[in-house]
A = this chain, B = another copy of it.
Amino acid sequence: MGMKISRRRFIGGAAATAAMATLSLPRRTEAATRRADVIVVGAGLAGLTAAREIVKAGRSVLILEARDRVGGRTLNHPLDSSRYAELGGMFTGPTQDHIQALAQELGIGLFPTYNTGNNVFVGGDGRREEFPNNTPLGTAPADPVVAPDIVLAVEQLDQMSTMVPVDSPWTSSMAEQWDRQTLDTWLRANTSGSDEFMAVTSAATEAIFGCEPRDLSLLYTLFYIAASGDEQNTGTFERNFNTAGGAQESRFVGGAQTIALAMAGQLGGSVMLGRPVERIEQSSLGVTVYSGRLKAKGQRVIVAIPPTLAGRIDYDPLLPPLRDQLTQRMPQGTLMKFDAIYPTPFWRAQGLTGQTVSEIGPIKVTFDTSPADGSLGIMMGFIGGHEARYWENQPPDQLRAAAIQNLVQFFGPEAASPINDITFNWSTEQWNRGCPVAVLGPGTLLDFGAVLREPIDRIHWAGTETSTFWNGYMDGAVRSGERAAAEVLPQLL
């Protein structure tokens, strides 16, 4: 029943296929050189947003996308002619105004993430509890063993994050102190540090970052929290991890990938698929971007792909060493999604939201990601960080069995028999190499952060990792594309 996913299959369902028909697939006979004012590398949300802004301003653009689909870290997986699972970024919430404005402009609506009833918590000893999802802790478990530490940690982290400027975390007066330790170190020193609490923090960071608290710089974590807001609203960790009032509050009608597909549809033939970029040359005259036999020439280039992939492009002249060494220090997190499909969202009848925090993996966080009409039940589980690193090397049927065992523990025996299930590992994706975001360890922001989005002559950087707000989220990707376009446009002849 478990499906091994072939990458080729995911181009976003029927609507997607129609949209894609207008895009350029490689033809071996086509002209070796194409020209545009701006070349964009990557047709994820960042690259497409940048391209759209450039076209809006009346300039020409050419987008080179490595894959045979657009959407980057958003991905619709068709289940039948009208229904789909979302295997990538899918949620949005308050203060994520840029992705929401873009969706609205494209005629893509929102609907609320299912969030009625109780959440489930499973402790390290296997105890299972249900608690209302509207406690002061929000989505965090109200379990008496871990709740006091959660409150303690979140309050302090939120407070500390107000001292981190989102556009230059390295300039905080506390930057050095906070970038010389891991989140793990700080948590143990500033809470009870109990095994139960630390296990809950792992569940959180595995889902949010695809890594463990030990992999994270404290300063980077505080930046990420500070970035969970906008120009008017201070970032908070709660807005980051909550459903009601938080980043998981809503979903996009038709799936988040629809946003990229709609943009690509508008951009038409300027989106070239199957065009991995190997080399970027720049001179005082312009840029040349190479993909196989294709040369794309322009005045400027916007590189809108994850830093670890941007670092693998061959640049001539070489990038400054600080920039190359930065990309060496921005590994992607490790994240898999497990989707179990049921005839109905049966947990709703049990008074459950479908949201879980568990100290026992592989799945430690779940969401009800069923279609808006509830005509099918989709239970999505995150397998991240250490769990993903362990399980991706085990036989797929063992992972599947362990994941379903998790779901049975969370939601009862009905969870044992999905009609279908999907395991999707973002680390095996050649054009991601991990998800959901680059994970910064100690020392990186402090010594290398200043070059994160600094243009290098005619090369500009986009992608959610370069965003000041909602870094790591779809909203950050859109913001970064807007910012890169705004950088480039005044420079064009």
Contacts and interface: CB of A to CB of B under 8 A. Distances in A.
Interface of A: 179-182, 184-185, 211-215, 278, 308, 311-312, 318, 320-322, 324-325, 328-332, 334, 385-386, 389, 392-393, 425, 427-428, 430, 433-434, 441-443, 446-448
Contact of A325 (B320, B330, B433, B441): B433
Count the copies.
Answer: 2
Nearest to A451: B393
Contacts of A329: 331
A132 to B, nearest CB: 33
Contacts of A334: 321, 325, 447
The 10 closest A-B pairs by CB, nearest first: A321-B427, A328-B331, A180-B214, A441-B441, A215-B443, A180-B184, A214-B443, A389-B447, A312-B312, A214-B442
A321 B321 CA distance: 26
Nearest to A181: B185
Given A185-B185, A322-B389, A331-B328, A179 B214 contact: yes
A325 B321 contact: no
A184 B185 CA distance: 11
Given A182-B181, A441-B442, A320 B393 contact: yes
A443 B211 contact: yes
Given A215-B443, A325-B332, A325-B434, A184 B181 contact: yes
A221 to B, nearest CB: 13
Contacts of A448: 389
A318 B430 contact: yes
A446 B392 CA distance: 16
A425 B324 CA distance: 13
Contacts of A311: 312
Contacts of A442: 182, 184, 214-215, 441-442
A385 B211 CA distance: 25
Nearest to A213: B180
A444 to B, nearest CB: 8
Contacts of A179: 214
A434 B321 CA distance: 8
A386 B215 contact: no
B393 A322 contact: yes
Contacts of A325: 331-332, 334, 389, 427, 433-434
A247 to B, nearest CB: 24
A166 to B, nearest CB: 22
Contacts of A320: 392-393
A447 B446 CA distance: 25
Contacts of A446: 214
Contacts of A182: 180-182, 185, 442-443
A164 B470 CA distance: 40
Contacts of A331: 325, 328-329
A169 to B, nearest CB: 14
A359 B334 CA distance: 39
Contacts of A185: 180-182, 185
A392 B185 CA distance: 31
Nearest to A214: B180
A95 to B, nearest CB: 30
A441 B308 CA distance: 16
Given A181-B184, A312-B312, A321-B427, 12 more contacts: A180-B184, A181-B182, A182-B185, A185-B185, A212-B443, A311-B312, A322-B393, A322-B427, A325-B434, A389-B448, A441-B442, A442-B442
